Amino acid sequence: MYRFLFSARWLGWLAMVMVIAAGCVALGHWQLERREAVVQNIHRIEANYDAAPERYVPGQNGFDEYDDAREWTPITFTGTYDVEQQVIVRNRPFNGQPGYEVLTPLRLDDGSAVIVDRGWLPIGNDEAGYPDTVPAPPAGRVEVTARTKPGEPEVRRGAPDGQVASINLPALAERVDYPLQQSAYGLLALERPAADETPALAPKPSIDEGPHLSYSLQWFAFGVLAFVGLGYAARQQRRSDAEQDGSAPAPRERRRRHPSSEEQEDAILDAQDVR
């Protein structure tokens, strides 16, 4: 009855369904991998973000050699801001608004420096593409607590003077004449003494896993439904072939229903009237 499944047409459909199912499975695994990356980041946030700040020790806090497990860990530095080498990063959205982030080197007691992201500024009214004002950091010696973040890849896109396209630490190191940590930078959490005015500090990152798990299950279900659809089409083909060659089972006769007592009485009365 299902010998037609071995025809070239049906084998071709089977191959197409298998390709579709394989694609669905691959997309499902991709969503699971994305979820795994999100979950790992959530674990780092929960473990490190609100931890007690560590005092910076050269070679021991992940700034000389970055460690993914230390992302978001608060580190306390002591030094002096180098305002002359301050730059802003362009194309930085915040709460749905475009703007900039302010990067200022903090020169440490050992002569090296670390980049501190001091926060976000909105786009200004300047046609050249600069914020209206850039708040100055505290002058003189300052104690800074900042959360560890990895540097970003280089973005080959032009930027006006005083701006950069990404937080690429090796590129920023070329702009200064002193050693600059190139494995990580600090996302400002606290300054002592505090500046008179500061950019908007970055909020705590979200710990929502997102819809990746549900999306993966949907892709796996689509893969199964592809075979279900093929099976349904094969069943319909079988019925059609059976009807054409006359081998379809004859419809079953409906069972005769016994008359009810009221119908029997009516029949008797009708018979008496006839007589």
Last residue of a domain, one of 192, 227, 255: 192
Q: Is residue 240 part of a domain?
A: yes
- Token pair belonging to 93: 């959205």
Q: Is residue 199 part of a domain?
A: no
What does the pLDDT look like over 105-119, one tens digit per residue?
999 988 899 999 999
DSSP output for 188-205:
EEEEESPPSS-PBPPPPP
Q: How many residues does the chain have?
A: 275
Q: Is residue 57 part of a domain?
A: yes
Do 67 and 18 sit in the same domain of this protein? Answer: no
Q: At residue 50, does pLDDT exceed 50?
A: yes
Task: From residue 203, give the alpha-carbon distance in Å to each of 45, 91, 105, 187.
Answer: 12, 18, 21, 10
Whether the Cβ atoms of residue 143 and residue 191 lie closer than 8 Å to each other: yes
Domain count, the chain: 2
Q: At residue 252, does pLDDT exceed 90?
A: no
Do 169 and 62 sit in the same domain of this protein? Answer: yes
Say what the pLDDT of residue 18 is: 93
Q: Up-side HSE of residue 253: CA atoms within 13 Å toward CB?
A: 3
Do 64 and 87 sit in the same domain of this protein? Answer: yes
Q: 258 versus 241: which is more confidently predicted?
A: 241
Q: How far is residue 113's CA from residue 86's CA, in Å, rounded to a whole number?
A: 12
Do 30 and 105 sit in the same domain of this protein? Answer: no
Q: Is residue 225 part of a domain?
A: yes
What does the pLDDT look like over 16-30, one tens digit per residue?
999 999 999 999 999
Q: Which residues lie below 8 Å from residue 64, measured CB to CB, with a gap of 6+?
A: 58, 181, 183
Average pLDDT over residues 50-57: 92
Average pLDDT over residues 165-176: 92
Q: Is residue 212 part of a domain?
A: yes
Q: How far is residue 149's CA from residue 146's CA, in Å, rounded to a whole number?
A: 9
Do 140 and 241 sit in the same domain of this protein? Answer: no
Banded model confidence at residue 53, pLDDT cuts 50, 70, 90: very high
**Domain around 224:** 1-49+207-246
| DSSP three-state, residue 110 | coil
Whether the Cβ atoms of residue 165 and residue 89 lie closer than 8 Å to each other: yes
pTM of the predicted protein model: 0.73
Q: Is residue 256 part of a domain?
A: no
Share of the chain above pLDDT 90, in %: 51
Do 45 and 60 sit in the same domain of this protein? Answer: no
Do 58 and 11 sit in the same domain of this protein? Answer: no
Helix residue ranges, H only, the chain: 8-48, 169-173, 212-245, 261-274
Q: How far is residue 62's CA from residue 146's CA, in Å, rounded to a whole number?
A: 13
Say what the pLDDT of residue 59 is: 78
Q: How far is residue 216's CA from residue 274's CA, in Å, rounded to a whole number?
A: 77
